[in-house]
Amino acid sequence: MRTPFDGPLVTEAWILDRAPGDLVLVDVRWEPDGDVQEAFERGHLPDAVLMDVDEDLAAPPGEGPGRHPLPSPEAFARTMTRAGIGADTAVVAYDPERGSLAARLWWMLDVLGHPVSLLDGGMTAWSGSLETGPGREPTPRFFTSRAWPPDRIVDARAVRAAVSQGSSVLVDARSGERYRGETEPIYDVAGHIPGARNLPWADVHDPTSGRFLGSDALRERFRVVGVSDGRQMIAQCGSGVTACTDLLALRVAGMADARLYVGSWSDWIADPERPVVTGEDPGSPS
């Protein structure tokens, strides 16, 4: 499939250099109160289309593991078609949260081999004016339904086996406070999966600019948590959304692709028999 991208990240200048119609800009949102439309209408990049993490990039809870199961391939294809994303349509995703939400769409399209990149730094990196209001109505383009590749996804059983055998490093992208179990704003159980290492998604960005760190700095971040070229990573978070930021960072670092535990913490704690660890220590996988 043809792609205009040199890597997983683009800049504002790159977007402005494209002719109208060369790509689809997707504004990815999640709001605690669920009103993503109102947030989008307050300001978005010109000509962007809106996608809601809950409605567009996940199946309803119960239709798969965790709080944000992957949508069926057919449902995802319908969403892309409505957004005007066809077989060869280049996509640039962004959000107001340094890519922590938009990375979910980046990962979903990337594992299907679709041309996609992410606006580095998100809305904070955009110096031009923003549009307000409901946005444009995209012209539908047919997107072919394709199965999610099984070699890029793991479930709880596979996570437990891989970590116990030492064949993979489980990396938890949640904040340090949530990883250690000091706070848990969403779920009834706090802590982390035994053996998981913590690399918060916010730590793969430059704290001043909000852009992703360079490849050397990212490789060092991953080295500290035990990820190297010879050891595959499994990424997880609370529900399989912000973990995709660590997966994108791995690509920026030039390292081998990893797998996503889609259900993540929300799936792990659904079975009360699964062990939980609190504190700084990763704990011993069993």
What CATH number belongs to 150-268?
Answer: 3.40.250.10
Per-residue model confidence as pLDDT tens digits over 170-203 = 999 999 999 999 999 999 999 999 999 999 999 9
**Residue ranges of the chain that CATH labels 3.40.250.10:** 9-125, 150-268
pLDDT digits (tens, 9 = 90+) for 131-173: 999 988 999 999 999 999 999 999 999 999 998 888 899 999 9
pTM score of the predicted model: 0.96
Crossing angle of helices 102-110 and 243-252, in 10° steps, is: 60
CATH number of this structure's domain 9-125: 3.40.250.10
Q: What is residue 186's DSSP assignment?
A: S
Q: Tokens standing for 277?
A: 């660890």
Residue 1 has pLDDT above 60, yes or no: no
Residue 262 tokens, joined: 């889609």
pLDDT at 4: 85
Mean pLDDT over each residue of the chain, to the nearest integer: 94
Extended beta strands in 100-202, E state: 116-119, 153-154, 168-172, 197-198
Res 145: pLDDT: 97
- Three-state secondary structure string covering 163-223: HHHCCEEEEECCCHHHHHCCCCCCCCCCCECCCCEECCHHHHECCCCCCECCHHHHHHHHH
pLDDT of residue 2: 59
User: Is there a contact between 172 and 234 (Cβ–Cβ < 8 Å)?
Assistant: no
pLDDT at 269 over 70: yes
Q: Given 237, 241, 258, 262, which residue is catalytic?
A: 237
Structure tokens at 162: 């891989």
Q: Give the Cβ contact number of residue 34 at 10 Å.
A: 11
Query: Is 244 noted as a catalytic residue in this protein?
Result: no
CA 143 to chain CA mean position, Å:
21
